[in-house]
């Protein structure tokens, strides 16, 4: 596929805007770029490179002549218009959860299972959940080095921007109210998020886990092509504006070593190892924000499980966790 027509669906949203930035920064080759959004955004002008592009209203007829459609909208719209785009001749790369567990839809992190883009009978490729992407970017080089991952235990520390602009606004408003000694109102989250942590991201299911936590297990199994992996996650919302952090314990088929683990991480694309115990060097959300790589530190042997390592990984959930990953999938199709 050379110089495709690319449509960005949800171009005025946070992820859509980041997709445009990634297309620009990575100099992705295309013949035409279409910006699609809701009726209220139609007619808006957006600067891209040396052009001023007008946002068009998203309608079923929008996909005529489109080769690649990058969807960053709700799952309902993806389910409705994704197949419409495919019928018009486009390959859909979808950021929502609509198709992730569909057997005929590959779930792709290009550095890990990029070859899966060749197997998309429905014409749709799904972007994984942001927390899964950040976790697996660090886990995959290790599980390859040590014969596969058998068990995964993770606790995530997720930024409010994962809830969109409303999550950011809630943290800002509560922080300002606290400084003025005014009442703090919680609308987006079930509890105050400022100066607090909330151990619930997405609704709690009958098994006691949240939807976000189950994504970690189900998506990990699919991406790594290993349905036997045992995974348990606790996902926590924290008062951080951007970038998700994950504390991970992973058990492998063979005994790992710190030296081999460091070598595997240092050689992995999209990873930076920041791990100096004596100098208190380890990644924080501020270090990862607005960056493309996932940062790994606090690497150590786990004391509770045999053949296990513990580590800390941080990644920008808007960039690698969403927009960048989608653009990288598009690059695989173009190449």
Distance CA 228, CA 170 (A): 40
Question: Which bin fits 89, alpha (ψ -120 to 50), beta or left (φ > 0)?
Answer: left
- Which one of 22, 130, 149, 235 is the catalytic residue? 130
**In the annotation, is 130 catalytic?**
yes
**Is 191 part of the annotated catalytic residue set?**
no
Tell me what percent of the chain is helix, strand and coil, each rounded to the nearest 5: 35, 25, 40
Determine contact, residues 84/61, Cβ cutoff 8 Å: no
Q: Which residue has the tokens 């927009």?
A: 323
How far, in Å, are 146, 150, 159, 162, 295 from residue 235 at the CA level? 26, 20, 11, 12, 19
Catalytic residue among 22, 149, 235, 244: 244
Strands (E), 68-196: 68-71, 91-94, 124-126, 149-158
DSSP 8-state secondary structure symbol assigned to residue 76? H
Catalytic residue IDs: 130, 244
């Amino acid at each position: 596929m050379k110089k495709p027509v690319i449509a960005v669906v949800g171009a005025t949203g946070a992820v859509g805007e980041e997709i445009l930035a990634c297309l620009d920064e990575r100099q992705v080759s295309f013949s035409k770029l279409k910006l699609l959004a809701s009726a209220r955004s139609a007619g808006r002008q957006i600067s891209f490179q040396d052009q001023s592009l007008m946002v068009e209203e998203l309608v079923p007829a929008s996909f005529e002549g489109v080769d690649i459609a990058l969807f960053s909208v709700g799952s309902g719209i993806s389910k409705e218009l994704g197949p419409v785009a495919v019928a018009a001749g486009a390959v859909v790369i979808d950021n929502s959860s609509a198709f992730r567990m569909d057997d005929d839809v590959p779930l792709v992190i290009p550095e890990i299972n990029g070859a899966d883009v060749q197997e998309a009978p429905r014409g749709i490729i799904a972007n994984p959940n942001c927390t899964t992407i950040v976790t697996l970017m660090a886990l995959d080089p290790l599980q390859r080095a040590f014969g596969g991952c058998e068990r995964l235990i993770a606790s995530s520390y997720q930024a409010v921007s994962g809830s969109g602009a409303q999550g950011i606004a809630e943290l800002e408003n509560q922080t300002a109210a606290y400084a003025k000694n005014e009442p703090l109102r919680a609308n987006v989250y079930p509890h105050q998020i400022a100066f607090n942590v909330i151990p619930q991201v997405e609704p709690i299911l009958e098994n006691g886990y949240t939807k976000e936590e189950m994504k970690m297990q189900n998506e990990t199994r699919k991406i790594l092509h290993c349905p036997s992996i045992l995974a348990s996650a606790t996902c926590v919302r924290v008062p951080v504006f951007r970038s998700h952090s994950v504390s991970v314990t992973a058990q492998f088929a063979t005994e790992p070593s710190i030296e081999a683990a460091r070598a595997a991480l240092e050689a992995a694309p999209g990873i930076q190892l920041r791990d100096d115990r004596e100098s208190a060097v380890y990644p924080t959300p501020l270090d990862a924000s607005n960056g493309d790589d996932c940062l790994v530190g606090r690497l150590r042997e786990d004391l509770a499980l045999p053949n296990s390592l513990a580590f800390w990984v941080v990644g920008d959930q808007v960039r690698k966790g969403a927009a960048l990953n989608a653009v990288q999938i598009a690059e695989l199709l173009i190449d």
